[in-house]
Amino acid sequence: MYLGIILIVVAFINAIIEFVQEAKSASIMKSFLGMIPQNTWVIRDTRLQQIAAQDIVKGDVVWIRFGEKCPADLRIFKASDLKVDNASLTGESEPQERRPGNDHTNALEATNLAFNGSLIVNGEGYGLVVRTGDQTVLGQIAGLTAGEKKRPSPLAEEIDNFVAFISTIAVITAIIFFLVAGISVGIPWISAVSFAIGIFVSWVPEGLPATVTVNMSS
């Protein structure tokens, strides 16, 4: 009974630790949603109006300004000292100037394109929506990431191999001790089963998830 209570307590502790780690991962993924603006300004029916970013369509004229995020991929046709931060897309740490003209052949380096999710760090400008949603550069990156087959990390492979090794030894040892206790020594089979279970449990590293988590975070 005491052994069972201890195992239940350890299982609950491990479950709590794993829940906390999953919650942290979920919060990190949720933070990516902050890259997408909720509302934006567009020119429709000859007037400037604010609409939800998800309602933008190709061909809309969007007004972007300092402190906002680009709601779609835009072709800039009017700008006033407009600069954007493309660090989340291209890794460039310095603000990039955006103006109507362009001398680059690479779209990611084009000076007349502002990409979805880019932060406007200076000035203001008007742009024509050329791509929205999954068709934007940010959407394509997200699609490629989602489509990638997940591969286990070297640490995960080592842990899996260790667990498989320990599990094999635990099963073999439990069977051997059960046979020895039940056949050679003549212990009642119920006691032999309990003895074998105790041997098996003693091999299982119940605290392995907690130990790995603590070591990785320290």
Residue 139 has a pLDDT of: 78
Residue 23 has a pLDDT of: 76
Backbone angles phi, psi at 98, to 5 degrees: -125, 130
Residue whose C-alpha is closest to residue 37's, from 27, 50, 28: 50
| DSSP line for 159-203 | HHHHHHHHHHHHHHHHHHHHHIIIIIS---HHHHHHHHHHHHHHH
With tokens 């880019």, the residue in question is 118
Residue 159 has a pLDDT of: 80
CB 204 within 8 A of CB 10: no
pTM of the model: 0.50
Parts of the chain with a pLDDT under 70: 1-4, 7, 25-26, 28-37, 143-150, 185, 206-218
d(CA 172, CA 93): 57
Burial 15-50 (b: 16+ CB within 10 A, else e): eebeeeeeeeeeeeeeeeeebbbeebbbeeeeeeee
Residue 209's H or E segment, with its range, is helix 208-217
Strands (E), 47-190: 47-52, 61-65, 73-85, 96-98, 113-114, 119-131
CB 107 within 8 A of CB 86: no
Mean pLDDT for the chain? 79
Domain boundaries, the chain: 2-29+151-217, 36-147
User: Quick one: tokens of 200?
Assistant: 């098996």
> Which CATH class, in words, describes the domain spanning 36-147?
mainly beta
Burial of 115 (0-12, 13-18, 19+ CB in 10 A): buried
